[in-house]
Structure 1
Amino acid sequence: MSFPRAKPVDDLHEEVAGYDLVVVPDAPLAGALNRRIDRPRLGSFAITPRRIAAGRREEAEDRIAFLELVRRTDLDWKRGAHAVGNILQCWEHQGRPEAILEYDAYVDAATRQAVEYVTDLDTTSRRLTEYRIDDDQDVAVVGVDQLTRLERSILPDDYDAVDVFDDREFDHPPFHVFDSSTAIVDTVVDAVTEENADDVAVVLDQGSEFSALIESALEADGVPFYGGPGFVDHPDHRTFVQLLRAAHGGTDTRVGEIRPLLARLDVSLDVEHDEKRLSEFDDRELDWVVDFCDRIEDRTFAEALDGFENRTDRRLEAFRDELETLGIADTRATERAVDQFVFYLRSYEVPVDRDNEGVLLADAKSAAYVDRPVVFHLGLDEEWTHSAPRRPWVDQDAQYTRNIRQFQLLLQSGATQYYLVQDATGGSTVTPCLYFEELLDEEFERFSDLDSETHTRRVDRPGDDSGFATEPVDAATSDVSTISQSSLGTYVNSPRDHFFGRLVDGPDTDYFTEGNLFHDFAEFYIHHPDFVDQDVIDDVVDYVLEETRPFVRSVDETTRRTKYRVGLETIVAFFEENTPVDGEFLTTTSDWGSNVFAERFDRPVDSPITERWFENDDLGLKGKIDLIHSRSQLVDHKSGRRKSASQVVTNSALDPPGDSPNFQALLYLTHWRSQYPDRQLEFTFFHFLETLDDVVTGTVDLAGDDVGEIDLDDTLTTVSYHPMPFDEYARSKAFFDELVEEGSNKCRKTLSQVAYEDYATVFDGTALPDTTDSDELIDSPFGETLTARMKDCVGDYKYVETGCKQAMRQLTRVRGRAFFEDDLDAFETFVDERLEELNRRRAGEERFPVAGLGGEPNYRYVDNRDLLLEGDR
């Protein structure tokens, strides 16, 4: 598909060569025309309106006006910048500086004050207002529609308009679609050398990832470039600004938040420390940073810069000059002053000296023409679309026309153009620049819908010189023979997240640290209940606070102290009422690990019933049991919110897995069944912080004084395992007696009038469906048979029908709150299949997909979200 062709510069030069003066809208185009002059000339030939009016190189007048306003007034910086921006923009589009005052909604005291000062400044806008080209010159204007009203005001009455487009069509080159931004940058860098750098330009959105990637890649290859990084992008400038911001970040600033700053200061810390507060993290490497932050309010900007220069052994003269220019070098670096300074750096481009040689890096939103033989256009996505100023003084239609014509010219810059793009990034489709919708008369949603070529990384094959070369690696992978409940849950949710979890370290967190300390205390108390008194609990509370202080804000210390005390006292209360067995039936195991409270109080913890590690090679399972309460009961200590037994069973579903897969109870019971195959077992979650809300609100008291005593049942969730299939359990005499004695009213009334044999007979003739949906069971053939049988035995009464429904609802409740023999059998098969699948993927026979067995992952439980690219990539 094609669109109007831009005239080549040679054709334009030939068309305008006979004129005295050529006015053009874009400085690069002026330079290109001037470079083609083949005879001496007096004065300017091709020039922009601002350059001819100012008689000098164009300057960023918005920054100049802002600096003057700051120097001469006491206006707030943000209000002053806003006023200056509106004044200059209105001036540009309406041709007069005072035109802003005609728009009441944009006029305030700051605006009136700014108009007074800005109008008198020696800016290019003022010179444009006062300048007019002599009528006796023969003038050509290239692309007059690209000029603003203020720029056109300098034109003489008589001039010739030269269109930048001709009657021919421009057949744009194909879009080259790559898998990633790094692949695009690699392609550019592979094509550029130090020798051909002056012939190449790269057009990109300077706010995109391409900017930093292309700069670092060219620098690494020793290829010169210019037009890229600005003043604030200088590594040392950026680091110093980050340091100023961190100094005012408060005591809650985390190590992970300032990693780029620390890296620039050559401070290396393990990722496990990322969640720790800088102010409470004791490490000698951080002493200078912490001291700088503590003393920032007492230092001026210049003094802070001196300290940074001494620490890094680098001089930042340009930065110091800018502080002087702003007049804040001797101002104390308070939080407000730093905020103002950062606002200035974000709002204005500080001029920097550049060597104009090498690869030209051009901003897609600033450039309209690039005069290089070879031009790479990177991205071409929606970020290339200009955001037209939504102000009443801006003609939106005219501005849109200027923007799209600029885009057309930019696409055609260079003798050879390469459009390097992506179809998707970060799991989302890349939207092409919106101007393509008007330029290309065809429907499309992504670049691959247009004339395009797809480039993917391929392994070289014999005789194939395309793709990317790879070398075979002779490395054997070891099979995984056992899996833990946490790894299994992560793998089922998202295999690729599981894969990255094995490769990428994560930071320590407050809840992991708290949880480990609570577990250690529970283990210690089980061994030494008589030793733990109120003084010991007070000491433990203080210790837990100290250990978690790097993670916790100072203002939260009081509430944390309450939380820790409630958790510890609930643990004590639970084990006072539920003393574990002595564990003589267990074999001695090697120590799982150290216990901080055993070391703190110099008392051993050596019972086999606590923190018992298991690795069951026959079943492929491994884990750590917090407490073996008895032969039939396992206990796990939990600091999180309590879940019901039905939620635990639901989250253990296999086909398909639940939205929040968690196989802890199912896995531990499966292992314990292998030790005691014919025993009914229980797995109990002890949520020792479940009492916290009631204690804080005064509803209950752990000591039972004056208010209600805590009900420990509220902290427990127990899931049972019955060593028989569910249909066998459902037809058992024990369950029938339970219905007769504990069922709902009409259920008891109905079944108490029949013999157990009448109930059991129903199971002989009709299969019990495997469901936890009571309505599905009631409407099934089994439900109809049970109801008919009971009516035959008791009579065709309404209460009999209701009683049968109540019995079946009880059946489904039991099915949804407990595990049975067939559940654990299915789980054993499930684990075998997952291990086989996992080892295939580890061996490289297939990829680790993002989606798990249940489909799209539950991203609430994904640990490496930024590493997961969706689809087949």
Structure 2
Amino acid sequence: MVSFRQSKPIGRLYHEVADYDLVIVPDSPLADALNRRLERPHFGPFAITPRRLATRRRETAEDRTAFLEVIDETDLSWKEIAYTVGNVLQCWEYRGSADAILEYDPFDTPATRTVVDIVSSLQTSSRLLEDYEIDVGAAKSVAVVGERQLTNLERSVLPDEYDSIDRFTEDTFGLPAFRIFESPAAIVDAILDTVTRDNADDIGIVLDSSSEYSPLIESALETAEIPYYGGPGFMDDRDHRAFVQLLRCTTAGSDTRVQSVKPLLSCLGATVPVEHDEKRLADADDPETDWLREFIGRADTLTFEETLNAYEDRTGRTLESFRDELDRLGLLAEPITTGAIDRLGFYLETYEVPIDRNNEGVLLADAKSASFVDRPIVFYLGLDEDWTHDSPNRPWVDRDEEYERNIDGFQSLLQSGVERNYLVQDAAGGSPITPCLYFDELVEAEFERFSDLESRRYVRTGRSTGDGFDREPLDADVEPERVETISQSSLNTYANSPRDYCFGRLVETPDKDYFVEGNLFHDFAEFVVNNPGFVDDACLEEVVDAMIEETRAFHRTIDLETQRTRYRIGLETICDYLDEHAPADTTFLTPSSGWGANFFAEYFDRDVDSPATERWFEDGDLRLKGKIDLVQSPTQLVDFKSGNRNSASQVTNHASIDEPSDKPNFQALCYLTYWRRQQPDESLEFTFFHFLETLEDVVAGDATLEDCLTTITYHPVAFDEFVQSRTVFDELREDAANDCNKTFSKTDYETYLAVFDAYNVPRTRDADEMADSPFGEALVERLVDDVGDYKYVRNGCMQAFRHLCSYRKAGYFVEDLDAFERFVDEQLEELNRYRRGEDRFPIDGRAGEPNYRYVNNRDMLLTDTRPTRDGSQSTQAEETLAADAVDSEVNR
């Protein structure tokens, strides 16, 4: 049940006060609305707020005016001034006099007394309001509308006799149903279905000005070329923001990254490719950054005015209002320093600088400032807990009275307009959105979210739902290009998050330090293979110098020596490995299989034409493609890695198909699957060479190459056939753990083989699981009968199970690669189904929620989940422009 009191329509309220000479109201929008309805000639003000009546001018932000005066007359810090001025003015508002604050001991300070003396002497609206008395001779009849919403200072102007007019009736207001949407973007879309340039003057939109709705609705109206006012402030001007960022750049230091100054560069007319985003601005090798870098280099000799002049000259735009504000603050002639910039930033964050507005078009009203909107059609956006006022926590504030005042304003605000639309979200991030606190007071029913109250859902779909909003269907005649082959890196990304994979095809990504470094290391390895004996100590030092220059833009100057050591050790480790494992027997390889340019080949003007390095493949039958770093021999492949080393068990675990890993990596599987086609019926090895793994060990002097290597094997037989071979039996007798060797040394191969004849060995990596299987139980029973029921026999069998499972942890068998081939086909068919638009690319991968450490487009995966009408989960990502771009891509 709703206990909202019925607010009097503006027409009725006007007729109740029309015969009065003077009408006092609590806020300007209500005064303007009554004045617009005045039907008779009237001398002087009719409906007016107390402050406007006392000052005879539009209300201004007196806290800013007082602040500017105090900084001119005192040496107090700007933060202390702002804090003290705020307290003095607030206490004045609630107590009715400027020096009332001195009655509170914690606030009776020298700074407060100084501010009280200065502010009391200014012609602020509070000063004028305190001294003002209504001329009862000129205003013989006075009405006060919404008296409870007036503060003590405002009430001080009231005459002894006046009529109090209630803003509410005794009736109850029937709150319309909330309209629940899936996201802020969907709410904005719904508004744009209604608002046009022709009806803009009839529309009011109430929102929390600090919420995400504010920039969304402003951007949408600008894009649609629909006029509006009441929204953007002084610092919403892009040139104002850019100029402040230019100031901060001058003292930010040499580690400033290009990405952090992209908005500034854009305002300066510079377009810098995404690839430079993560580079240091000081070393970015793009001419578009030249002006900014040169300016920063001489900024320590400039004043604020000279900096502003330079910005205006560069952009061709004039910032007169910003110049005026710097002049008021006394900053124009000051040199640029960190302290001065911080003071300016504090001022702009604390006070709203007034700007001239054209009061035309859609009215944007702040939910915490307005109590009335005089528009026939009003949209209320959000209505969540952010609409609740923060009552001042000061001893001069009666918080109960303040709460009642806010309740009245809230009730009045929600009844503005003839047609009212309450557009809300019900949940975000899997949690309900809490409605505004005032609903607890005004709605008698128990509720936690908007859907617990009378509401209707609106869902954006590709088809009409009757009560939703249609989306224009994509052209069904466009046949998307099929993906026929996939690389191991793309497969990894797709397995982690199909949505991230798709965005990776749409969005350019910046160069990363580890990408650039990795490519240089790979190029060096290829160069060494192709030029054995060329690299000596002098050459190696030159290579390090070249790598430092190529990566300088990514690293702080202080880190360069550390990087130099790291590069030198990595390069030496590569040389050591290739000295011991130079490629052998490459005659079987085709000669023209190189891939791309090689930095060091061009640097030293040498050839890199060995068929054993950087070998590109693309197999249409397997649907796989990739690049093999080194073919060491007909049965050995090597991949150079700059990252941390994984064990063979971790590698095979991350490539698991049956039990998906949250760190999917199919590289070894992919390359072995391809290479077995080249070398059928051969045992193969794929080695990861982590050349930086022993960095600390090299420094300590005890590094070994073996610590850098992880080798995955492929056995060209089935697992069950392999483990029952004589070779494996002999390993159990000689190369396994002690109790296993002892146990199997006392039995024969025929006894071991008999268990395989009776039972199938499970394809598992878990020794306990193998032990609990019929095969495991039978093997234990057979060995106990054959060797004896001793503790070491049972323990030896357990060690045997671990040994057998280790083969699957460290390598692959025929059935594993066969399964991977089927897996690739399945993933590509699924991917192509998404590309055809039959469903959206999901965010969750094969292991569920993506592992965000391996996500490349994290900002685009908006994972705040919320229930849909059918009970499933949708995400914010499905309601963003970026998500719509995915749909366009898959149908392109």
* TM-score band, normalised by shorter chain: over 0.9
Taking a change above 3 Å as real, the CA distance of residues 102 and 766 of structure 1, as seen in their structure-2 partners, is farther
The structural deviation recorded for 1:501 is 1.0
**Counterpart of 1:421?**
424
Matched residue, 1:435: 438
Taking a change above 3 Å as real, the CA distance of residues 75 and 529 of structure 1, as seen in their structure-2 partners, is: farther
State the 1:455 CA deviation. 3.5
Structure 1 residues 717-796: aligned runs within 5 Å: 717-796=710-789
**Which digits, 9 at most, give the CA deviation of each residue in 1:792-814, with x for residues without a partner?**
11111122112112222222333
**Residues 768-847 of structure 1 correspond to what in structure 2 (within 5 A)?**
768-847=761-840
1:527–1:194 distance in 2 versus 1, CA, 3 Å: closer
Matched AA of 1:48: T
1:861 aligns with 2:848: no
Q: Distance in 1 between matches of 2:120 and 2:468?
A: 65
Q: Which amino acid aligns with 1:546?
A: E
Corresponding residue for residue 653 of structure 2: 650
Q: In structure 2, what is the Cα distance between the partners aligned to 1:770 and 1:132?
A: 94
CA distance in 1, matches of 2:310, 2:476: 49
Q: Which piece of structure 1 moves more, 415-424 or 129-138?
A: 129-138
- Please give the per-residue CA displacement for 1:383-441, whole angstroms capped at 9, x wherever unaligned: 32223333343333332332233222211111211223344568876543333343333
Q: Does the 8 Å contact 2:459/2:468 carry over to 1?
A: no
- Residue 399 of structure 1: which of 393, 398, 402 is its match? 402
Compute the displacement of 1:685 (Å): 0.9
* Contact 2:240 2:322 (C-alpha < 8 Å) held by counterparts: yes
Alignment partner of 2:240 out of 229, 233, 237:
237
Residue identity matched to 1:200: I
Map of 1:660 onto structure 2: 663
Equivalents in 1 of 2:508, 2:430: separation in Å?
23
Q: What amino acid does structure 2 have at the position aligned with 1:749?
A: K
Contact residue 581 and residue 630 of structure 1 kept, 8 A = yes
Q: Which residue of 2 aligns with 1:318?
A: 321
How far apart, CA to CA, are the structure 2 residues paired with 1:337 and 1:148? 37
Partner residue in 1 for 2:272: 269
Q: Deviations 1:191-228 (Å, cap 9, x if unpaired)?
A: 33444332222222222333333334434444332222
Q: Deviation digits for residues 615-635 of structure 1, max 9, x if unmatched? A: 111111111111111122211
Distance 1:221 1:304 in 2: 35
Aligned to 2:75: 74
Code of the residue aligned with 2:454 in structure 1: it is D
**RMSD, matched Cα:** 2.5
Range moving further from structure 2, 847-856 or 612-621: 847-856
Is 1:5 the counterpart of 2:2? The answer is no
Post-superposition offset of 1:728: 2.2
Q: Residue 280 of structure 1: CA displacement?
A: 0.6
* Counterpart code for 1:624: K
1:156-167 equivalent positions in 2, closer than 5 A:
156-167=159-170
| Structure-1 residue corresponding to 2:61 | 60
Q: Which moved more, 1:662-671 or 1:394-403?
A: 394-403
Aligned-partner Cα distance in 2 for 1:108–1:736: 90
Cα distance, 1:378–1:104 mapped onto 2, change above 3 Å: same
What is the CA–CA distance in structure 2 between the aligned matches of 1:203 and 1:299, rounded to whole Å? 44
Which whole-Å CA distance do the structure 1 matches of 2:21 and 2:252 have between them? 60
Counterparts of 1:272-311 in structure 2, within 5 Å, are: 272-311=275-314
Which residue identity does 1:494 align to in structure 2? S
Q: Please tell me whether the aligned partners of residues 733 and 756 of structure 1 are also in contact (alpha carbons under 8 angstroms).
A: yes
SS where residue 724 of structure 1 aligns? Answer: coil
TM-score in terms of structure 2 length: 0.92
Deviates more, 1:4-13 or 1:811-820: 811-820
Is this contact kept in 1: 2:464–2:470, CA < 8 A? no
**Residue identity matched to 1:382:** E
Per the normalisation by structure 1, the TM-score is 0.94
Shift of 1:682: 1.4
Change (3 A) 1:675 1:98: same
1:127-170 C-alpha deviation (Å, 9 max, x unpaired):
33334446785443322222223333333455443322222222
Query: Could you say what secondary structure the match of 1:550 adopts?
Result: helix
- Give the match's secondary structure for 1:491: helix
Amino acid at match of 2:238: P
The answer to whether the 8 Å contact 2:101/2:108 transfers is yes
Choose which of 587, 596, 601 in structure 1 pairs with 2:599. Answer: 596
CA distance in 2, matches of 1:474, 1:427: 37
- In 1: Cα distance, 2:837 partner to 2:652 partner: 34
Most deviating of 250-259 and 218-227: 218-227
Asked if the contact 1:277–1:552 (Cα under 8 Å) also holds between the matched residues in 2, the reply is yes
SS where residue 523 of structure 2 aligns? Answer: helix
1:715 and 2:718 are equivalent in the alignment: no
Amino acid at match of 2:419: T
Shift of 1:328: 0.8
Matched, 1:209 2:212: yes
Distance 1:465 1:138, change over 3 A: closer
Unaligned runs of 5+ in 2: 864-872, 879-892
Q: Which amino acid aligns with 2:840?
A: R
- Specify whether residues 857 and 429 from structure 1 end up closer, same or farther in structure 2 by C-alpha distance, changes over 3 A only: farther
- What is the alpha-carbon distance in structure 1 between the residues aligned to residue 611 and residue 212 of structure 2? 55
Distance in 1 between residues matched to 2:650 and 2:467, nearest whole Å: 56
- Corresponding residue to 1:571 among 564, 569, 574: 574
**In 2, Cα distance between the equivalents of 1:692 and 1:272?**
29
Do 2:622 and 2:821's aligned partners in 1 also have CA atoms closer than 8 Å? yes
How high is the sequence identity, in percent, across the aligned residues? 58
What do residues 353-392 of structure 1 show as CA deviations (whole Å, max 9, x unaligned)? 1222322221112111111112122233333222333334
Q: Tell me the number of residue pairs that the alignment of Structure 1 and Structure 2 aligns.
A: 863
Amino acid of the residue matched to residue 374 of structure 2? D
Q: Which residue of 2 aligns with 1:677?
A: 680
Letter in 1 for 2:85: V
> CA–CA distance in 2 between the matches of 1:176 and 1:768?
60
Moved more, 779-788 or 671-680: 779-788
Q: Could you say which residue in structure 2 is the equivalent of 1:28? A: 29
Following TM superposition, by how much is the alpha carbon of 1:653 offset from its aligned partner in structure 2, in angstroms? 0.9
Where does residue 41 of structure 2 map in the other structure? 40
What residue number does 2:175 align with? 172
Structure 1 distance, partners of 2:176, 2:234, is 35
State how far apart, in whole Å, the 1-side matches of 2:670 and 2:446 are. 53
The CA deviation at 1:256 is 1.6
Deviations 1:544-588 (A, max 9, x none): 111111111222111111111111111112222222214112222
Q: Which amino acid aligns with 2:731?
A: E
One-letter amino acid matched to 2:724: R
From 685, 690, 706, the counterpart of 2:693: 690
Q: Summarize the Cα distance change of 1:101–1:825 in structure 2 as closer, same or farther, 3 Å threshold.
A: farther
* Contact 1:769-1:782 within 8 A present in 2 as well: yes
Q: Is the 8 A contact 1:589 1:612 kept in 2?
A: no
Per the TM alignment, residue 471 of structure 1 is displaced from its structure 2 partner at its CA by 6.4
Unaligned runs of 5+ in 1: 701-707
Number of the residue aligned with 2:363:
360
**Structure 1 pair 396–770 and aligned structure 2 pair: CA distance change class (3 A):** farther
Residue of structure 1 in register with 2:145 after alignment? 142
Look up the equivalent residue of 1:367 and give its one-letter code: A
CA distance in structure 1 between the aligned counterparts of 2:728 and 2:297, rounded to whole angstroms: 69
**Which residue in 2 is equivalent to 1:703?**
none
Partner amino acid, structure 2, of 1:573: D
Structure 1 distance, partners of 2:700, 2:467, is 76
Cα 1:362–1:98 change in 2 (3 A) is: same
Task: Give the superposition deviation at 1:460.
Answer: 6.8
Mark the CA change 1:435 to 1:682 in structure 2 (over 3 Å): closer, same or farther: farther
